[in-house]
A and B are shown apart, each in its own frame.
Chain A
């Protein structure tokens, strides 16, 4: 199994960025829901509020739908890409043997943000 490389190929890079988007989305939506009420309660309390909140809501549903679809596709693409790499890589060069050990150590360090 190939170890985690330092730089990612296109497919997994894309998937990571979509993952970042998935983390940002809740924060963004919370701000869009909460801030207008703090700033201009009179504007979003009546008929204007009905429009704003329901349009925002529909937008959020569509955003989550599109994001999840893209993430699922990106995951499938990443799996395909890693399978292709695994198939194409019969014997890694002997000179590169010391690098996986470093990569391994780095990944383990990254897995435990607060080691106890």
Chain B
């Protein structure tokens, strides 16, 4: 294929990427983000993990070390099997804090410390520069394959080829600056870049799959043949040794690759910063491992077929290109070339964005703010500065990569750079995981861990990889590289844990720790003045970062949420927290925190503030609980009141009924007394008649007296002035007397009396006459009201240790219906049958009062097959009743 065609296709592809990114950015600006936000786009953007190093290098790796190449893909797969509880939590917490990079995450967790972020940024730069150089090299190498293939292009010489990397770097810098620094959004998302990367991921995958299918079914005879060839290749003496998996390397490489997917700046950028929410990980959790699976499925076949078909001296790293080219498959080779080009460019673009964000947020902006401490400098446009700082950082990162590429031209050292970068960023992992899971982790621990890991990584891995210093002296049989990785990571973790245990974090750090570990909204301290005289400077500050329109919109929305009109909300902790986090989304949490503190007068948070925050939360919780309890109490009280009201209403009705009843009861004897008195005036009466009529008058007067006596008796009992004469009596005798006295009531009815005399022989200490009155009343009631054909009266006496003596009096009539059971002991209560009752309805009320005076009670027992009363008498009468009663009388 002519080199010019290759160049033209390549340029066309680049233009396509620009168009796609531009279109996606425009769609996002118009609010059409539905398909841009699709979990599939997110998953594809994660494939930025598969850089040119894995696209070209995996086959080379496989032909040198066999299946060991799988670790680079299996490590991330292991992480993604924990997507549901692990990655989703990471993304949720990071989104909650508007984290802009992995350095920002660590800094925000450990008390918004910018120096810690600057340290992580340094590691990221040292690790990324050679890695970017590796991508540039892969592009220039792949160009070289086509250039040396085509003698028709004599103008392409070494000098021009050396410039390829330069041109690529310049083009990528342009793309990154155009689409990576368009705006300073509060959430740091780049729809254009992500969409372009998703498209590149598709190209990458299709190219590799097409090559794989060609190799397995075009060059070989299908999967079975490939397996046989792999088995044959493994028998070659150099492979039997080199392809044998070593457990130490295998384990360490899996851990490093798993760490890389979490900590590499570009991976953090696409996985956490560009994620709209954590829910897309439910799809990506299996879709991304599936992508990696597809990308590595054909690596072994290509490696084996390349060995068999290509000359012995061919570079295994370029098998993916040279294999189709040597078979005359120009179109396929072209597609593969575009795939590799995509892998390299997407990695470089995202890496540059991520590292440039770190450099600008954690190096340049804090430096600039520190240099302009004078109040006069506050009016300048910070937004423009941040964007320019980012552009500058992108250029610097690209330039550093290109310089590194030029300086190491021809050396094989670059090939190892991918893993070296992985291990470097993995040094952030202990602090990151510890910060998310352990509230005790603190900043000093993070410094110690990351610092130790960084130094060991530089000394044992990075410097040896670029030819400075030697490998570790190790015992035979041990892999020096695996040992170095193991040493650096374990020393890192140990230092982190040990220093954390002995340290005491400052209050901001403890607040952040709580927020990160429990995944709850962070609270900013409330020391700041609550008046709005500081809101204006804050608005001015936000305007410098976001531009006037966006700042005004945010402040107005916040003011409206507080119920205020205008643009100046109250400085509530909630508002300050939201403002700081949104600012943090643009310039990093440490800088945002420092800026707000500066505007507010730089009041430091103290331990007592922290306790106050906890106090406020506690108070709010208690208040809620109190209200809840009060509600329950109110419900209980309301129910009681309702019951009391029902009872009062019923009593009132009864009282009215009683008044008419009592007037009737009083009136009837009075009428006869008057009538017979009139008759007695008649002189013609015989003495017999006179005696008879006088007898009637006497009886009627007696009835009146009894009625009045009852009323008087009740009123004495109720007022507590009853006089008791306590004596010892036999209950059996009392019951006998009560039965015989009550038999005068409705003597025509004969009752079957069922009693147990043996249990009745009890000596009781009480006022026997009063108790007898109660017994007579209850038994008479039974005689009066029992409506059974063959009436039966059951008397049961029990002597209980705890309650005293229980006397149950039960008949076999129809009883009292439940609606009236609560009323029968009230005064004037009488069941609806005045004719049959013949009393004033005071009997049971008197009984109740007597039993109360005796220290016991009387109650109605429902569900006994008839009317049933239970009289409870204590072992001894209440002390002092008799004395007080007699003194009152």
Contacts and interface: CB of A to CB of B under 8 A. Distances in A.
A23 B518 contact: no
Interface residues on A, range: 35 or more
B67 A44 contact: yes
Contact of A94 (B80, B82, B635): B635
Interface string A1-35: 00000000000000000010011011001100110
Interface in A60-116: 60-65, 67-68, 71-72, 94, 97, 100-101, 104, 108, 111-112, 114, 116
Given A50-B67, A61-B289, A97-B629, A68 B282 contact: yes
B814 to A, nearest CB: 33
Given A97-B629, A100-B628, A64 B289 contact: yes
Nearest to A104: B625
B234 interface: yes
Nearest to B249: A37
Contact of A38 (B74, B247, B510): B247
Interface string B408-451: 00000000000000000000000000000011100000000000
Interface in B201-232: 227-228, 230-231
Nearest to B247: A38
B70 interface: yes
A62 B513 CA distance: 36
Contacts of B228: 47
A112 B597 CA distance: 29
Contacts of A71: 84, 282
Interface stretch (B238-246, B543-551, B714-722, B854-862): B238-246
Contacts of B290: 61
A107 B98 CA distance: 28
A30 B231 CA distance: 26
Contacts of A22: 82, 84-85
Given A22-B85, A41-B245, A58-B293, A68 B67 contact: no
Given A34-B250, A57-B293, A116-B439, A46 B85 contact: no
B401 interface: no
Which of B230, B286, B438, B629 has most A Cβ within 10 Å?
B286
Contacts of B625: 101, 104
Contacts of A111: 518
Given A50-B227, A71-B84, A112-B518, A26 B78 contact: yes
Contacts of A112: 518
A42 B245 CA distance: 7
Contacts of B250: 34, 37
Which of A19, A30, A38, A54 has most B Cβ within 10 Å?
A30
Interface in B245-288: 245-247, 250-251, 254, 282-283, 285-286
A45 B632 contact: no
Nearest to B510: A116
Interface residues of B, number: 51
Contacts of B518: 111-112
B636 interface: yes
Nearest to B239: A46
B81 A25 contact: yes
Nearest to B631: A97
B238 to A, nearest CB: 14
A104 to B, nearest CB: 7
Contact of B85 (A19, A33, A45, A65): A19
Interface string B53-80: 0000000000000110010001001111
Contact of B230 (A23, A25, A46, A53): A46
A64 B251 contact: no
Nearest to B636: A94
A49 B78 contact: no
A47 B77 contact: no
Contacts of B621: 108
A114 B84 contact: no
B82 A68 contact: no
A114 B517 CA distance: 10
A49 B632 contact: no
Interface string B583-623: 00000000000000000000000000000000000000100
Contacts of B440: 114, 116
Contact of A47 (B79, B234, B285): B234
B297 interface: yes
A37 B66 CA distance: 13
A46 B349 CA distance: 37
Contacts of B84: 19, 22, 67-68, 71
Nearest to A52: B67
B300 interface: yes
Contacts of A34: 247, 250-251, 254
Which of A50, A51, A53 has most B Cβ within 10 Å?
A50
Nearest to B634: A94
Contacts of A108: 621
A34 B258 CA distance: 13
A113 to B, nearest CB: 8
Interface string B633-658: 00110010000000000000000000
Contacts of A94: 632, 635-636, 639
A33 B250 CA distance: 9
Nearest to A64: B286
B21 interface: no
A116 to B, nearest CB: 5
Contacts of A41: 244-247
Given A94-B636, A111-B518, A114-B439, A57 B77 contact: yes
B286 A26 contact: no
B103 interface: no
Contact of A33 (B78, B246, B293): B78
A53 to B, nearest CB: 6
A51 B226 CA distance: 12
Nearest to A69: B282
Contacts of A72: 282
A29 B78 contact: yes
Contacts of A64: 80-81, 83, 285-286, 289
Interface of A: 19, 22-23, 25-26, 29-30, 33-34, 37-38, 41-42, 44-47, 49-51, 53-54, 57-58, 60-65, 67-68, 71-72, 94, 97, 100-101, 104, 108, 111-112, 114, 116
16 contacts: A22-B82, A25-B82, A26-B81, A29-B81, A34-B250, A34-B254, A37-B245, A41-B244, A47-B227, A47-B230, A53-B74, A60-B81, A61-B290, A63-B81, A67-B84, A100-B628
Interface of B: 66-67, 70, 74, 77-86, 227-228, 230-231, 234, 243-247, 250-251, 254, 282-283, 285-286, 289-290, 293, 297, 300, 438-440, 510, 513-514, 518, 621, 625, 628-629, 632, 635-636, 639
Closest 3 CB pairs of A and B: A97-B632, A26-B82, A46-B234
Given A41-B244, A60-B81, 14 more contacts: A22-B85, A23-B82, A23-B85, A26-B82, A33-B78, A33-B254, A34-B247, A38-B247, A47-B230, A47-B234, A54-B293, A57-B293, A64-B83, A111-B518
